[in-house]
Amino acid sequence: MIKGYFYLSLTFILSLMFSCSQEVKFVVDIEKAFYEVSTRSENLLQKSGFITYFDKNFNLQKIEFDSETQILELQNSKGNIVAVLIYFETNSLDYAYSGMLYPIAQEFSVHSSFCAFIYQKLMNCSFENSQKTAEFCNYFNWNKFYENILKFENPFLLNSDLICNDIATNQFSVYSLKLKE
């Protein structure tokens, strides 16, 4: 009886160890992101640009792509939230971007772009090490945040500094979703 219990416990612990270290691959569809950005951008877009995201070691990665690229396959550790922002070159000096927050908001929309923007802003503005910041960000309820963001036609009109500050200080609520002044 004890021998069987020990075997089950050891099996359970080993399966947890291996499941935590598994990597997840997901596809970023450049064509869909391009279409989403083109519906809301006033500038003429080019199908070239770059992607930013934090890898499994929480380092910011930048991958450039050309007009021939249709999809990119990224990987990260299972259980991590991945904020992907895709920047397209425009006919002006700036970039138009779209984003997604994997696995929560996997489609490209202005709402998922805003969620990815907030996530990356938190990661970039942190004075902590990136692993601690990512663990904190993974603890945040992004599903609920995304649901609340959907109530706004254009979430980029919201005060992103206030939102990031309230998330970082663990004081975020629906009252943090205020328009910029």
Query: Is residue 9, in this structure, part of any structural domain at all?
Result: yes
Report the sign of the C-alpha dihedral through residues 146, 179, 125, 59, in that order.
Answer: positive
Looking at every residue in the chain, the average pLDDT score rounds to 82
69-124 pLDDT, tens digit each: 888 888 888 878 889 999 988 877 677 888 999 888 888 889 999 999 999 999 88
CA distance 163 to 115: 11
Question: What are the two backbone dihedrals, phi and then psi, of residue 114, each rounded to the nearest 5 degrees?
Answer: -65, -40
77, 95, 142, 33: CA torsion to nearest 10: -70
147-177 pLDDT, tens digit each: 999 999 999 999 999 999 999 889 999 999 9
Query: Is residue 145, in this structure, part of any structural domain at all?
Result: yes
Q: How far apart are the first and last CA of the chain?
A: 67
Query: Is residue 153, in this structure, part of any structural domain at all?
Result: yes
Which three-class secondary structure state does DSSP give residue 36?
helix
Q: What is the pTM of this model?
A: 0.79
CA distance 55 to 61: 7
Residue with tokens 């050309």: 66
Question: What are the two backbone dihedrals, phi and then psi, of residue 20, each rounded to the nearest 5 degrees?
Answer: -70, -30
* Mean predicted confidence (pLDDT) in 35-49: 80
Q: Where are the alpha helices (DSSP H) in 21-129?
A: 30-38, 110-125
Q: CB under 8 Å to 143, separation ≥6 — which residues?
A: 104
Cβ–Cβ under 8 Å, residues 111 and 100: no
**Amino acid symbol at 91:** N
Residue 24 has pLDDT above 90, yes or no: no
Q: Which helix (H) or strand (E) holds 55?
A: none
Query: Is residue 76, in this structure, part of any structural domain at all?
Result: yes
Q: How many domains does the chain have?
A: 1
- What residues make up the domain containing 93? 2-176
Query: Is residue 90, in this structure, part of any structural domain at all?
Result: yes
Q: Where are the beta strands (DSSP E) in 66-146?
A: 71-77, 82-90, 95-102
CA distance 1 to 145: 47
Query: Is residue 181, in this structure, part of any structural domain at all?
Result: no
